[in-house]
Each structure stands twice: as structure tokens, then as C-alpha cells.
Amino acid sequence: MKYLHTMVRVSDLDASIDFYCNKLGLVELRRRENKAGRFTLVFLAAPGDEDAQVELTYNWDPEILSGGRNFGHLAYAVDDLYGLCQRLRSQGVTINRPPRDGHMAFIRSPDGISIELLQKGEALPVEEPWASMPNEGTW
Amino acid sequence: MKYLHTMVRVSDLDASIDFYCNKLGLVELRRRENKAGRFTLVFLAAPGDEDAQVELTYNWDPEILSGGRNFGHLAYAVDDLYGLCQRLRSQGVTINRPPRDGHMAFIRSPDGISIELLQKGEALPVEEPWASMPNEGTW
């Protein structure tokens, strides 16, 4: 038995690829368009960690993608939490829970999927501007 | 960058451990009770695949765990799809999407988390009772 992926639905495929790949740093592994079913599947993973994937399902016919409370978040370990959060901010991504402790941050995808970012290994030294940055919204 | 886990909230920890471990076949890796925060975290994974985890969050104060449309499902590859589905049925788990094609089935956790089960490698030969078993509910 082996974990394959977590599937999330996306309402705008371009915006989602921009978020998950250009901003968060995942890479696209493969893509399948199904014209009869009117959907596109895109499989993503962290570079070098291709065994644990996220599957984006884009249904061509729009629907409201509300969030629910039974799903929590996706979590990734990252090499440089401050560097990633700085880049995400510069790309317009809200850091809902800034890494005040040098250890943990939360952001959200365009469709509200909560993503936890954890510093690999030991926490980074506490430093500004993160240390005094307030939370924004929920995650 | 590395995938760590998908977190799902659970409303009944015992029922969830029974479902995810005793029925689905994941194993418990570690557990952390936080009395101050009034929550328990339990990390699970498929045996031998401990790098890709599911985190169960059990908040001691009850809340309604509704589902949402932005989250889709967790997916696992399994060695014997028919055998697993037969065992799950005998344990009272509804096979929402039976493996009619010998390739894919869907079930739901007690809190409505959709779980996709995919036969490893080639699909199994189509056979009864699965081939003519109708869908039940949604997944």
C-alpha cells in the first residue's frame, strides 16, 4: 500500500499553476485533458519528491468550490522558510500565518486550500519582519 | 522541498483510528496530546511508506465537520483491490464506487473524506460481484 496523491479541485487552472508552481515551487509532472469528460488533471510534486503528489482537477464547467472543515491542509517541509515567504509576498501571496517562530507558516491557494510550510530541521532564528507580523485572515 | 502530510479533522478519534488503521490498513506512527490546546494529533501512513503521512486532528471540543468542494480525495495504491474492498465491506464500510473495472474504488471516512483506492500495476480481471455492483451515494 502506498500513498499516491491528494486531489484538490481548482476553478482557474492558470491561476492555480501560477500559485502551486511559479510561487510555491512545485513542478508539473504530467497533465491529462479529457474532452469527453470536460476536465483536465494536472499532477504536481515538490522537486525530487515525485512520489507524493498533488492532483489538480479542473472541471471545464464552472462550479463553486467552497471549503469544508473536514479537510485541513497540505504540509511541506522547505529549505528556507523566510526566503520562500519573502518570495511569496513579493508575488502577491498573503502569508496568513507568518513564520514568527522561524518554524511554521500558512498560506492559502486561490481556491482556499490551506498549505502549511515548515522549516526543515531546526527552526530559524527569530527575526524581523516576521517576528512582529500579525496573522491575516484564517488558514 | 518535501511533501509531509495531508491533515484532516476528525470528530471521533476512536472511530477514525478504527477506519483508517483497522479497516483501511494505515499504521499509527506517532500521537501527540495537547492538553492546553485541547487537541490530539495522530500521524498515520501506509506500512513501509512512512514519508507520506495523513495527520488526524481531533479537537476535544466538538464542531461540525462539513465537507467542501475544493478538497477532493486522498489516493492510495493497493496490492489487492478486490481483497481490500471485500474486507472493508465485511467491516461495514460502504464501497461508494465499487471496483467494477478492477482498477479503481472509492470509499469515505467517518467524516466524509473521500478516499480513492487504485490497484497497483495492471487492473485486475473484471469479475463478480464487483462488475455489476452499483454506485452508492457520492464520493
B4-35, pLDDT tens digit by residue?
999 999 999 999 999 999 999 999 999 999 99
Q: What is the pLDDT of residue A132?
A: 97
Question: Residue A16 has what pLDDT?
Answer: 96
- pLDDT at A91 (0 to 100): 94
A9: nearest CB among B48, B70, B113: B70
Q: Which three cell numbers stand for residue A119?
A: 522549516
Is B47 an interface residue toward A (CB < 8 Å)? yes
Cβ-Cβ contacts under 8 Å, A53 against chain B = 3
Q: Which residue of A has its CA nearest to B56?
A: A72
Q: Tell me, what's the ipTM?
A: 0.90
Q: What is the pLDDT of residue B6?
A: 97
Q: Do B6 and A75 touch (CB under 8 A)?
A: yes
* Domains, chain B, ordered by start: 5-59 (3.10.180.10), 73-139 (3.10.180.10)
Q: Which of B13, B70, B102 is nearest to A64 (CA)?
A: B70
A100: left (phi over 0), alpha (psi -120 to 50) or beta: alpha
| Planar angle of CA B119, A114, A119, nearest 5 degrees | 95
What per-residue confidence (pLDDT) applies to A98? 98
Mean pLDDT of B40-58: 96
List B8's β-bridge partners, or say none: A71, B56
- Contact between residue A42 and residue A17 where contact means Cβ atoms under 8 Å apart: yes
Q: Which residue of A has its CA nearest to B6?
A: A74
Give the whole-angstrom CA distance, residue B25 versus residue B13.
16
**Residue of B5, B53, B65 lying closest to A70 (CB–CB):** B65
Q: Kindly state whether B45 is in contact with chain A, defined as any CB-CB distance less than 8 angstroms.
A: yes
Residues A69-122: pLDDT tens digits? 999 999 999 999 999 999 999 999 999 999 999 999 999 999 999 999 999 999
pTM given for the model: 0.91
CA distances from B43 to A26, A104, B16, B129 (A): 23, 18, 12, 34
Q: What is the pLDDT of residues B59-101, one digit of tens each?
A: 999 888 999 999 999 999 999 999 999 999 999 999 999 999 9
Per-residue pLDDT band at B40 (split at 50, 70, 90): very high
Which alpha helices (H) appear in A52-118, and where do they start and end? 81-90
Q: Which residues of A touch B69 (CB under 8 A)?
A: 9, 63-66, 68
Check if B122 is active-site: no
Nearest 5°: the CA angle A119, A123, A128 is: 95
| Active-site choice (B116, B122, B128, B136) | B116
Catalytic residue among A55, A116, A127, A136: A116
For residue B94, the model assigns a pLDDT of: 97
By the 10 Å C-beta count (0-12 exposed, 13-18 middle, 19+ buried), A59 is classed as middle
pLDDT digits (tens, 9 = 90+) for A4-47: 999 999 999 999 999 999 999 999 999 999 999 999 999 999 99
Q: Inter-chain contact B69–A72, Cβ cutoff 8 Å?
A: no
B123 touches chain A (CB under 8 A): no
Confirm or reject contact between B106 and chain A (CB < 8 A): no
Tell me the average pLDDT across B24-49: 96
Classify residue A126 by its DSSP letter.
Answer: P
DSSP line for A27-56: EEEEEEEETTTTEEEEEEE-TT-TTSEEEE
